[in-house]
């Protein structure tokens, strides 16, 4: 036995560098469901089930391909309970001295492997378009690291939606045509729902017993858990959802949780799909006239733009990124995030859907739960831990920059050029939530005033020294300053009263 080959739960790709570097005739693949990884935050039961089920299927696939796989299930009596513990156990069993590992997507685990009393050869994760070095080279010397410019580099590099040196359709970005409110009728029936097979069923039974105290509903469970299912989900989205993805990607509805979203992040992030194959399929739909440029460009930008960019930032900024808090926000995460009673329909809907599906789309994460956290002054670290726990697609390299940076502005504007905050008007424009809310979105003060309206001005007022000089926020401050002084006082007093109620654990 010469090497152990570590394959983590989000590394389920045949192209994984550790597998590529190994020799299946002599090396042993180590895959382990360990307690440590299920408990550093209280992951949603659906997320744990997704990862374990997909791991078991990938392990079987590797065996079918001739690999020697040592797989530890969570309830195996010998299970050491941690990744390093499992590697040590297998090393002792086999006499192997060296571990081939692909770099984990989390500083925490990278640290554990570096400190392990074993020789660990850490290989780059080649499943991304941009290596750490490429991102560093791009970032070097720039005053601002704007995603849009990085994205153009990725378009040039991949040739996706390019006609020679020019972008297809004559523009890099078609967002101007996107972001419409939801139409009367949604023509996409949503993601495919996969019936649990025997492997999934076994995992569900295990997760039900072990993690019944974690926030979130385990059943019904229907995520794709194998590459074959992930490819079916992708095909389904490309042919049926993608054509209108751009138009309605920011819309939110009481009675439709998915609209035109693909729900492929779970498969992408655990390695069942590759970013390039997903984008190539979307570009093909455009070339064949099956989807318009605004939809395809918008979709591809999310993947070769945002997804690669946030990973670049996570690794560029280093392990302390998740603890940044430039706005000094310290309020504890209120109960409403764990399903506590609230009269705010938008929060109830976003959190309720998160509890049931381990999924919410981007605007629900950014402009409902994220917006509320930022306006209400919630500690960004607690926001980060919440997002990391509750979404099935949450892995720190992608979740943390989205939460700490984009959503909570806790990194001081590395990712977002201004904080993503809004009053109730934006939510009302993009959703039908306000129609069935106990608060009144048009009301700015008073008992039934929408909390987003009060907290929006409170946020701008309390962070005035930092933001009033931001050119993109000038209009907001001018509107605030035009309000008469008495009204401003009332808004601040009512917002403070609301925050006091939140601190006292009262439902708002």
- Which residues in this chain contact ligand SF4 in the complex, by CB under 6 A? 344-346, 424, 427-428, 433-434, 437, 439, 441, 450-452
Q: Which of 102, 226, 233, 269 lies at the binding interface for ligand FAD (CB under 6 A)?
A: 269
Q: Which of 188, 372, 391, 456 lies at the binding interface for ligand FAD (CB under 6 A)?
A: 391
Our CB check for ligand SF4 shows the closer of 256 and 470 to be: 256
Site for ligand FAD in 392-451 (CB under 6 A): 393-394, 398-399, 402-403, 406-407
Count H helices, E strands: the chain? 24, 7
Could you say which of ligand FAD, ligand SF4, none residue 391 binds, taking C-beta under 5 to 8 angstroms by partner kind?
Answer: ligand FAD
Could you say which of ligand SF4, ligand FAD, none residue 419 binds, taking C-beta under 5 to 8 angstroms by partner kind?
Answer: none
Q: What x/- string results for residues 213 through 252 when contact with ligand FAD is judged by CB under 6 A?
A: ------------------------------------x---
Q: Per-residue DSSP letters for 249-313?
A: TT-BBTTBS-TT----HHHHHHTSS-HHHHHHHHHHHHHTTSS-HHHHHHHHIIIIIIIHHHHHH
Our CB check for ligand FAD shows the closer of 87 and 234 to be: 234
Q: For tokens 């992951």, what's the residue?
A: 43
- How far, CA to CA in Å, does 375 sit from each of 34, 111, 224, 329? 37, 34, 36, 10
CB of 376 to ligand SF4, least distance (A): 12
Our CB check for ligand SF4 shows the closer of 201 and 448 to be: 448
Residue 405 CB contacts under 8 Å (≥ 6 apart), including other chains: 310, 313, 321, 411, 414, 415, 416
CA 496, 485, 412: angle at the middle one, nearest 5? Answer: 55
Radius of gyration for the alpha carbons in the chain, expressed in angstroms and rounded: 23
Do residues 145 and 125 make contact, with C-beta atoms less than 8 angstroms apart?
A: no
CB of 130 to ligand FAD, least distance (A): 13
**Residue 263 sits in the site that holds ligand FAD (CB under 6 A):** yes
Could you say which of ligand SF4, ligand FAD, none residue 303 binds, taking C-beta under 5 to 8 angstroms by partner kind?
Answer: ligand FAD
Site for ligand FAD in 293-352 (CB under 6 A): 299, 302-303, 306-307, 310
CB of 212 to ligand SF4, least distance (A): 31
Our CB check for ligand SF4 shows the closer of 151 and 337 to be: 337
How many residues of this chain interact with ligand FAD, rule: CB under 6 A? 29
Distance CA 459, CA 456 (A): 5
Could you say which of ligand FAD, ligand SF4, none residue 221 binds, taking C-beta under 5 to 8 angstroms by partner kind?
Answer: none
Distance CA 432, CA 416 (A): 27
Our CB check for ligand FAD shows the closer of 100 and 285 to be: 285
Q: Is the dihedral of CA 297, 300, 305, 306 positive or negative?
A: positive
Do residues 191 and 22 make contact, with C-beta atoms less than 8 angstroms apart?
A: no
Distance CA 399, CA 387 (A): 7
């Amino acid at each position: 036995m010469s090497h152990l080959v570590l394959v983590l739960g989000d590394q389920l790709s045949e192209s994984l560098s550790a597998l590529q570097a190994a020799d299946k005739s002599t090396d042993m693949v180590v895959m382990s469901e360990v307690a440590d990884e299920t408990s550093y935050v209280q992951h949603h039961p659906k997320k744990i089930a997704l990862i374990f089920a997909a791991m078991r299927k990938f392990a079987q696939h590797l065996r079918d391909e001739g690999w020697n796989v040592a797989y530890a299930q969570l309830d195996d009596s010998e299970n050491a309970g941690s990744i390093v513990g499992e590697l040590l156990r297998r090393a002792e069993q086999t006499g192997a001295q060296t571990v081939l590992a692909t770099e984990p997507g989390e500083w925490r685990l990278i640290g554990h492997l570096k400190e392990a009393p074993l020789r660990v050869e850490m290989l780059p994760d080649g499943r991304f378009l941009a290596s750490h070095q490429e991102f560093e080279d791009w970032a070097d010397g720039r005053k601002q690291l704007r995603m849009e410019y990085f994205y153009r580099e990725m378009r040039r590099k991949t040739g996706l939606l390019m006609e020679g040196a020019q972008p297809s359709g004559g523009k890099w970005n078609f967002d101007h045509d996107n972001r419409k409110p939801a139409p009367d009728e949604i023509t996409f029936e949503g993601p495919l729902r996969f019936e649990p097979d025997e492997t999934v069923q076994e995992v569900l039974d295990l997760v039900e017993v072990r993690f019944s105290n974690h926030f979130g509903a385990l059943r019904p469970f229907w995520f794709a858990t194998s590459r074959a299912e992930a490819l079916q989900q992708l095909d389904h989205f490309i042919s049926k959802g993608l054509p209108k993805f751009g138009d309605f990607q920011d819309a939110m509805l009481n009675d439709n949780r998915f609209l035109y979203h693909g729900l492929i992040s779970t498969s992408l992030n655990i390695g069942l799909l590759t970013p390039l194959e997903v984008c190539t399929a979307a570009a093909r739909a455009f070339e064949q006239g099956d989807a318009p440029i605004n939809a395809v460009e918008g979709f591809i930008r999310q993947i070769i733009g945002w997804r690669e960019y946030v990973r670049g930032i996570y690794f560029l900024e280093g392990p302390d990124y998740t603890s940044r808090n430039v706005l000094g926000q310290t309020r504890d995460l209120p109960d409403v995030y764990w399903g506590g009673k609230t009269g705010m329909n938008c929060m109830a809907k976003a959190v309720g859907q998160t509890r049931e599906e381990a999924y919410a789309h981007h605007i629900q994460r950014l402009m409902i739960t994220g917006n509320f956290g930022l306006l209400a002054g919630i500690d960004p670290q607690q926001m980060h831990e919440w997002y990391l726990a509750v979404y099935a697609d949450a892995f720190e390299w992608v979740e943390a920059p989205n939460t700490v940076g984009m959503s909570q502005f806790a990194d001081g504007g590395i990712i977002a050029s201004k904080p993503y905050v809004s009053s109730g008007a934006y939510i009302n424009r993009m959703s039908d939530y306000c129609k069935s809310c106990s608060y009144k979105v048009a009301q700015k003060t008073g008992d039934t005033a929408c909390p987003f309206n009060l907290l929006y001005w409170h946020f701008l007022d309390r962070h005035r020294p930092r933001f009033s000089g931001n050119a993109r926020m000038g209009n907001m401050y001018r509107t605030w300053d035009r309000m008469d002084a008495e009204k401003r006082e009332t808004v601040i007093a009512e917002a403070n009263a609301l925050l006091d109620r939140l601190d006292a654990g009262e439902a708002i």
